[in-house]
Every structure is written in structure tokens, then in C-alpha cells.
Amino acid sequence: MIDIDQLMFKLEKNNPGQPEYIQAVREFLESIEDFINDNPQYEDSGIIDRIIEPDRSHIFKIAWSDDEGKVQVNKGFRVQFNNALGPYKGGLRFHPNVNLGVFKFLGFEQVFKNALTSLPMGGAKGGSDFDPKGKSNDEVMRFCQAYMLELWKLIGTELDVPAGEMGVGTREIGYLFGMYKKISGQHSGVLTGKGIDWGGSQMRNHATGYGLIYFTAEMLKANNMELKDKRIALSGFGNVAWGAAQKATEMGAKVVSISGPDGHVYFENGMDMEMIDYMLELRSTNEDIVRPMSYEFPNVQFRQNKKSWEVRCDIAIPCAIQDELNEHDAAILVANGCKCVVEGANMPCTPEAIDYLKENAILFAPGKAANAGGVATSGLEMSQNALRYQWSNEEVDKQLFTIMKRIHDLCREHGTDEDGKIDYVKGANIASFKKVANAMLDQGMI
């Protein structure tokens, strides 16, 4: 029998000051505990101890010069977590609040998320404590170049394929790719999220948000509801929230809120396409604020220092950052009639919030299932690069839809209880654990 408390005691002792990593591993193990006990081969062969430990964690110095010619130093990270299913794969986050523990948590989640896509990808994550806010274009370029001067030794099309994440979009991928190409002399698929004209895939920017809504629609259908006319509260206003807003609106739902760190914007009658297009413009200002939305559109209200979770909604989709939705927020959502919470970001709900939602019979989908559309489309970009070919928008969208539906089916297959109710956390964790663990068993103790 697995002793989770003892395992976690050891993990905490060996990884001090890494609460996000500890939280992610504990949540995961607790949800698959029964499955592990019913299948003792995993524990007997040491799979549990091996699967929660990253293969390796790289930390490196990045020195670069700002526009005044002053030397700046940041920390770079790349956590290569597990490559049982394919080359390491996962995004790069540039954000001042990152550290090794955050990247270990993200890398751990990525392993199982990538497994759910059914594409041949292992899991990794990386980035830097570089803060892109307020930096000039030249500064971002110099930083990306300096970052790649270290990272290039660690990556490769068959080894590790990074992509964008928070603070890293097409522009940054461009500068990173340019430097990789210069050093290696190779124009290869070593990064995903590339520009459409130089190796990128159609739909990559839309994919996480579109995939989220495809998953949400499947989830509602499986629970005798539909997306049309539902009021959706989103948090964030970046890539994920934008794609989700666009697809949800297109499918007849009403997006009633988006947010930034300084507050949220309320759309009583739902967003229209003009507002969604304006989200893109806002994002490109790099200022991290949503307030201008209310200057641009007369009936739109900005509510300073308030969260999206205070509005009446049927579905809440946190798309900003880890632990942004706590137990208090969950209680407000439930009191306001919310029926479904879908994680758009990685681990945006605290464990207490998830418990509260479950106790109140709220449908809940974890990020590793619901937001896998982004990395799935990265996987499709890798396929296209290997084929030296580019699929059409429609082709990629069709494949994305099929993948999200398959992830939903996997959750249903592994998470349905005797009463026919689907536990999406359990379903996603067991399905992905089985894939990774079985591959590790097949490949021996390495």
C-alpha cells in the first residue's frame, strides 16, 4: 500500500521552499491512490518514486545589457522532467515570480498533460525571472539572445522542444529561434510557437483557448447541459483567455468577465467580437492592465481590485496563474449559481477551492486535461516540421477538436464512478499516469 504522507514528508524535506511542486505532487498522488493500490506493479518497481522526481533541473546565469548600457543579470531555468513518451516538451515562462519550485510544479503537470494529448511528447518547463513588463523591444531581443546562448546546449528536436508560456509569445520565440539558428546553423523544429511563415503551425495562438472551450462543451454535453447562452467568467486577458473568449462567443455563450492583476472588466451582455479583437491590442501594450477596455466601450465596467469570480456566471474559467481561485472565491461562485469550473491556467485553483467545489457538486476540470490544446497543437507543429509541410487552419482545428474530445473520453473512461458521475481530476490523472508509468516499465530502470 502506498503511504502518501511518508512519501510527501520525504519530498518536502528534500525540496524545501518549493510549495507549488509539493502541492502538485500531493494532489496528483491523492487522486490516484486507489488505482496505485489496485495495481501494485507500479509501486513494486519504484515507479512512484521515479515519476515524481525530475530527470534533471538546469539553472543558469543570463547576463544582458539594458538600453542604458547597464549590465543586468537574471536566472534561467529548464526542468527536464520526464521523457518516457517522447522528447521533453513544454513552455518557457518569463515572469519575476518564478523559481525552481514553480518550474518543477509546471514540469510535473506538463508530463501528464502531454500524455493526455496522446502525442509522443515528454514533459519539461523552463524560463526566467526576467520581467518583460516595461522592457523595450531591443531589451527583450537582447535578453532572448542571451538566454538562448545558454539554453541551446540543452535542447534539440529529438531531445527537448521548448515553446512559449506566460511572457513568451511569437515575438520572443522569434528572437530565441533566431539565436538558436545562428549558433547551430540549423533551421529546425527545435521550438514551437514559431511564426506562420517560418515553421509555425496555423492555430497555435488560438489553440489553448479553443481547446478549452471544446473540452468545456464536451463536459457539459456529458452532463446533460450545453454551452449555448451560458454566462462565462474568465480571468486573465492573455492568449488563453482571448482564444477562449473568441471560441465561446462563436459557439453562442456570453463571456461576462475578463481580468488583469489590477481588477476585472464586467460585460453585462457578454463580449462581442470587436471587444475580443481589442483584447489583442491591449495585450500587445505589454502593460498588464485591462482598465482601458472600459474607456473604449461605454457599457463596460472596470472594477478595481476585484476578481472575475464575483459576477453571476454559469461557468468560471480561470486562465491567469496558479492558485488564483481560492476557497473564498469558490464559495462566492457557488452562491452565485456557478455550475462548472474549468482550469484554463496551470493549477489556478487551490486544493481547498477544489474540495469546496466538489462538496457542492460543481463540475470541475483540471488544467492538465482542459488546457492541453496548446501543447497538443505544439505537437502538431512538430509533426508538420518533421514532414516539412504546413496544414491548413481547418486541418489543424479539426485535429485539435479530435484531441480534446479524446482527452474528455479518457477522463470519462478512467474517472466514472458506479453512479455514472465523472470525476475529471481522477480520470485525467489515472489515464495519464498509466501511459507514462507503463512506458517507464517497458523501458526499464533508467
Work out whether 375 is an interface residue with ligand GLU (CB under 6 A).
Answer: yes
Part in contact with ligand GLU (CB under 6 A); list of ranges 53-61, 87-95, 195-203, 386-394: 87-95
Question: Closest separation between CB of residue 36 and ligand GLU, Å?
Answer: 25
Nearer to ligand GLU by C-beta: 167 or 415?
167
Measured from the CB of residue 428, what is the shortest distance to ligand GLU in angstroms? Answer: 14
Site for ligand GLU contains 374 (CB under 6 A): yes
Query: Counting contacts by CB under 6 A, is residue 89 touching ligand GLU?
Result: yes
Residue with the three cell numbers 539558428: 181
Report in angstroms the alpha-carbon separations of 340 from 13, 226, 343: 36, 11, 10
238 binds ligand GLU (CB under 6 A): no
**Angle formed at CA 110 by CA 104 and CA 116, multiple of 5 degrees:** 155
Strand bridging mode 254-260 / 263-267: antiparallel
CB of 375 to ligand GLU, least distance (A): 4
Which range touches ligand GLU (CB under 6 A), out of 14-22, 37-45, 88-96, 438-446?
A: 88-96
In degrees and rounded to multiples of 5, residue 286 shows phi and psi of: 65, 20
Question: How far is 216 from 361, CA to CA, in rounded Å?
Answer: 16
Q: Which of 213, 265 has the CB closer to ligand GLU?
A: 213
In the bound state with ligand GLU, the residue whose beta carbon lies nearer, of 293 and 370, is 370
Of 113, 125, 135, 307, the catalytic one is: 125
Three cell numbers, residue 323: 492558485
Could you tell me if 241 and 278 are in contact, meaning their C-beta atoms sit under 8 angstroms apart? no
Beta-bridge partner residues of 264 = 259, 303
Rounded least distance, CB 308 to ligand GLU, Å:
21
* Shortest Å distance, C-beta 316 to ligand GLU: 19
Residue 211, all three cell numbers: 481547446
Sign of the alpha-carbon dihedral angle for 354, 355, 358, 362: negative
Q: Which is nearer to ligand GLU, 346 or 429 (CB)?
A: 346
CB 314 within 8 A of CB 337: yes
Question: Judged by CB, which is closer to ligand GLU: 165, or 314?
Answer: 165
CB of 113 or CB of 412, closer to ligand GLU? 113
| Amino acid at residue number 123 | G
Per-residue x/- mask for ligand GLU, residues 153 to 172, rule CB under 6 A?
A: ----------x-x-------
Helix (H) or strand (E) holding 264: strand 263-267
Least distance CB 171 / ligand GLU (angstroms): 16
Residue whose C-alpha is closest to residue 296's, from 261, 272, 319: 272
Residue 149 to residue 179: CA distance in whole angstroms: 7
Active site residue 125: yes
Which span sits near ligand GLU by CB under 6 A: 38-46, 307-315, 373-381, 387-395? 373-381
- The identity of residue 274, as a single letter, is E
**Whole-angstrom distance, CA of residue 219 vs CA of residue 128:** 35
Distance of closest approach, residue 165 Cβ to ligand GLU, in angstroms: 4
**CB of 89 or CB of 412, closer to ligand GLU:** 89
Please tell me the distance from the alpha carbon of residue 258 to that of residue 89, in angstroms, as a whole number. Answer: 29
Cell 453571476, located at residue: 312
State the binding string over 338-357 for ligand GLU (x if CB under 6 A, else -).
--------x-----------
Catalytic positions, please?
Answer: 125
Summarize as ranges the residues that interact with ligand GLU (CB under 6 A).
89-91, 113, 163, 165, 192, 346, 374-375, 378
